[in-house]
Chains A and B, each alone.
Chain A
């Protein structure tokens, strides 16, 4: 038993190193994909048709193909066209593009459920478009979309392990390296525990945010 504990402490630093990369990708994806998704969803409602078509195509493409394929395409495929990404940038780019499309769909539903009357009320109170969106619509949309966004956030924690395929040293890879080297299941069990801890933490935080928005209904 002592031996296992000692072994766990030994490999913990490398697993935490991998967790750092996983969380880095997670943070970048959320911070960029959420606002981009919100903007895309506004564009999907635009009266200017070409914008609508382009954005619809983008959402269709991102949601209709595997994230793994998008990742491989950006890192291994684009160099054929002499477009090169460094590993982490490739991962960030693929994840932001992919998640922004999912968020756009979620936000689109959210915007639709804000009654037209709210826009009209804002209009006769002489708020301009951007004031109406920021002060009236977005706060209501945020409350509506929180549960669905929360699901995607949890998915993102787990999806981040896909970067394994382009050779990034994330949490999963760190565990796998230790397992192959030391021929033991312990690293994988630890990896599982760390993912569980992360998803539990984010589930808790999301619940807190939902509670914050429960002051009205």
Chain B
């Protein structure tokens, strides 16, 4: 379970996030919605430690943690970026196994076995040896999900998981997220697609644009 309270964030004197609080129960899906520029991505970047909040308290399973120095495996939060950000010089398998070897000190064999398992689960078992530029958008996204899952995160976050894909793939992303939920994964999904959110969410948080300058 993730709890975040009183998150404030300004850029150059302009307040973007005004006292936001949120809560996600273990194994549930929280969708963060709101118009463009409201601060959804910023909120997600704060939760994942890529941006520092001006104020805010964070707890995972009741224990306080600092997303910016999120180093213990207990507090691990995985991210699937809107533009995936796969490593272009590494093949699919290497993309997935690099971090488990370097950050979790898994052996290569151990990391490979786990990665193959995840790839199979995501229907990518025949893609292990090819490079990101050879993948379709939907496949890239699944590799990005596999890469995040390989670190055994407690929570998985997505920024606009449907925006870079064909509308036809929307349903399959929803199914994938549901499937991970069935396995007990806690997930936070940023989207401006209200219908998509209502489809998958256990809870919806609306971020409103802040008009004060």
Contacts and interface: CB of A to CB of B under 8 A. Distances in A.
Nearest to B76: A126
A117 B83 contact: yes
B103 interface: yes
Nearest to A114: B88
B103 A121 contact: no
Nearest to A138: B89
16 contacts: A118-B85, A121-B81, A121-B86, A123-B49, A124-B48, A125-B103, A125-B147, A126-B70, A126-B76, A126-B99, A127-B103, A135-B102, A139-B89, A140-B89, A216-B88, A216-B133
Interface residues of A, number: 19
Interface in B57-97: 70-71, 76-79, 81, 83, 85-89
A139 to B, nearest CB: 5
A120 B103 contact: no
A212 to B, nearest CB: 12
A124 B133 contact: no
B96 to A, nearest CB: 10
B22 interface: no
Contacts of A121: 81, 85-87
Interface of A: 115, 117-118, 120-121, 123-127, 131, 135-136, 139-140, 143, 215-217
A117 B103 contact: no
B49 to A, nearest CB: 7
Contact of B151 (A126, A136, A215, A216): A126
Interface string B109-151: 0000000000000000000000111000000000000011001
B50 interface: yes
Contacts of B38: none
Given A125-B148, A126-B103, 12 more contacts: A118-B85, A120-B50, A121-B85, A123-B49, A124-B49, A124-B50, A126-B151, A140-B88, A215-B131, A216-B131, A217-B88, A217-B133
Contacts of A115: 85
A139 B147 CA distance: 19
Nearest to B89: A139
